[in-house]
Structure 1
Amino acid sequence: MPASISVAIKNSINREGLRRILTDACFDVSESVSSLEDLQLVFHSDPEQHLLVVERDLLHAQFEENLEIIQRDHENLRIVVLTSAFDFDEMIAVYAAGAYAYFPDDVPYLSLVAVLQMVSNGQKVASHEAVDFLVNMPMTSLRSVDSSVVGTFNFRERELRVLEFLALGQPNKAISRELGINESAVKAAVKAILRKLGVENRTQAAVMARELVSSTAA
């Protein structure tokens, strides 16, 4: 039995185009809506094979929370997020919230169909943008940062421990779990790390953290 899919995309032309593509690919498109509020998520086939293809902008600023709420209410749902602007940090957060795929919305339609087929079989899928980013990051494992780095940037002990996990590209939720502290404390530490490193976002901090860790291990 083909996987059933709910589609949530604001633009009616894009939504209808995707609906037709998926129907032609033998997916059961059970609903096609323009907002999360209109979603019914009625499973017309095996509920363990139901997918939700959702436009990133419909998840709004609190996208992690919204994804977690949807996943909590429909634990077997497999969510695929389409974005107009790929962002590595956001991708990490999306997967951490339980999504199965995070892809640019201009992905070739045959590639998207292939992604959805893999997701329907229970696989989590990454885009080539994510792979390219990871390939270009220096190899490392979790190592301690030495005292010279601590002195240079005036890191506190908690910030230093969070920095080591940033070097591995770990999301806040994973860092929180590993260190046994709440996510708000991790977010505060990340904010302080960004300021002390003089970088603008988490991705830049992760790259710089990996360089610091690699240099101390050399």
Structure 2
Amino acid sequence: MAIRNSLIREGVRRILSDSGFDLTESVDDLHKLAPPQEAGPADHVIVVDRSLLGSDGAAVVGEILHRFPSARVVALVSSFEFTEMAAIYAAGAYAYFLDQVPYQSLVAMMQMVAVGQKVAPPEIIDLLDNLLLLTETPPLHRGAQGYDLSEREWDVLGALERGLPNKTISRDIGISESAVKATVKSLLKKLSVSNRTQAAVLARELADHQGPARVLCGVGFHDVRALDPRS
């Protein structure tokens, strides 16, 4: 187990130990993980928290699996990001879930990983529900509506389409996190959607509706006006 925060690390360690897991290592840095001393019939499970995955979690998961080919990697994160989750699973991880998960759920998911099952986070169900809600309105009808968005709002919308968290959007656009939150709130109201996921899906539909005019640059759209349904 590699978790930087000592309180979370100790909490997870105690939960897993009390639940019958054989915890061989508990460290605050991935480089401190030592290769297993014995090759037993059961593969090792490596729990890694988000802060140790860096800016490219999928690449770090790949590096872990290069060092420990038979390991089953579990990513423990503080917030759910669909794009990141998909990339981490594609890199070979077995599970991706929030560090606020109830301990019974944590134990159940770890038990499934231990027997070779990949586990999807509960947030996936919410995502599917949101996608179903979006299908209730015909895409072309939504794409034909006019959206009075500022250039900053178009940039933030482009970032939401890519699944970026507020901290990354703040850094890439050059505005404060509070300004990002305010812009997201304004976007949701103008687009008549309930959350970031719905806004991201709608952004993709608008881009597809506009055809080749969609060109990404940084975290935003290269020509935001080209995406405006009124133009």
Q: Which TM-score applies when normalising by structure 1?
A: 0.63
State which of 109, 129, 132 in structure 1 corresponds to 2:126. 132
- Does residue 8 (structure 1) correspond to residue 2 (structure 2)? The answer is yes
| Matched-pair contact (CA < 8 Å) for 1:22–1:113 | yes
State which of 121, 144, 151 in structure 1 corresponds to 2:115. 121
| Local SS of the residue matching 1:199 | helix
- Does residue 199 (structure 1) correspond to residue 158 (structure 2)? The answer is yes
Structure 1 unaligned residues grouped into runs of 5+: 1-6, 150-194
Q: How far has the Cα of 1:206 moved from its partner? A: 4.2
Match of 2:22 in 1: 28
- Does residue 18 (structure 1) correspond to residue 12 (structure 2)? The answer is yes
- Does residue 209 (structure 1) correspond to residue 204 (structure 2)? The answer is yes
| Local SS of the residue matching 2:23 | strand
| Local SS of the residue matching 1:30 | coil
State which of 85, 88, 92 in structure 2 corresponds to 1:91. 85
| Matched-pair contact (CA < 8 Å) for 1:84–1:104 | yes
Match of 1:63 in 2: 57
Q: How far has the Cα of 1:88 moved from its partner? A: 1.2
2:56 and 2:6 mapped to 1: Cα distance?
24
| Local SS of the residue matching 2:76 | strand
1:99 and 1:72 mapped to 2: Cα distance?
12
Q: Which TM-score applies when normalising by structure 2?
A: 0.59
2:157 and 2:7 mapped to 1: Cα distance?
43
| Matched-pair contact (CA < 8 Å) for 1:30–1:43 | no
| Matched-pair contact (CA < 8 Å) for 1:9–1:54 | yes
| Matched-pair contact (CA < 8 Å) for 2:61–2:91 | yes
Change (3 A) 1:43 1:78: farther
| Matched-pair contact (CA < 8 Å) for 1:197–1:205 | no
- The structure that has the greater radius of gyration is 2
- Does residue 106 (structure 1) correspond to residue 65 (structure 2)? The answer is no
Q: How far has the Cα of 1:210 moved from its partner? A: 5.4
Question: Could you list the per-position Cα deviations for residues 111-145 of structure 1 after superposition, in whole angstroms to 9, with x for gaps in the alignment?
Answer: 100000001111111111122112321499xxxx9
Match of 1:77 in 2: 71
Letter in 2 for 1:209: R
Match of 2:192 in 1: none
Letter in 1 for 2:131: M
Residue-pair matches, total: 159
> Hey, which of these two has a bigger chunk of strand by percent?
1
1:196 and 1:84 mapped to 2: Cα distance?
25
| Local SS of the residue matching 2:108 | helix
Question: Could you list the per-position Cα deviations for residues 118-176 of structure 1 after superposition, in whole angstroms to 9, with x for gaps in the alignment?
Answer: 01111111111122112321499xxxx99xx9xxxxxxxxxxxxxxxxxxxxxxxxxxx
With 61-70 and 99-108 compared, the bigger mean Cα shift is at: 61-70
| Local SS of the residue matching 1:18 | helix
Identical counterparts, % of pairs: 43
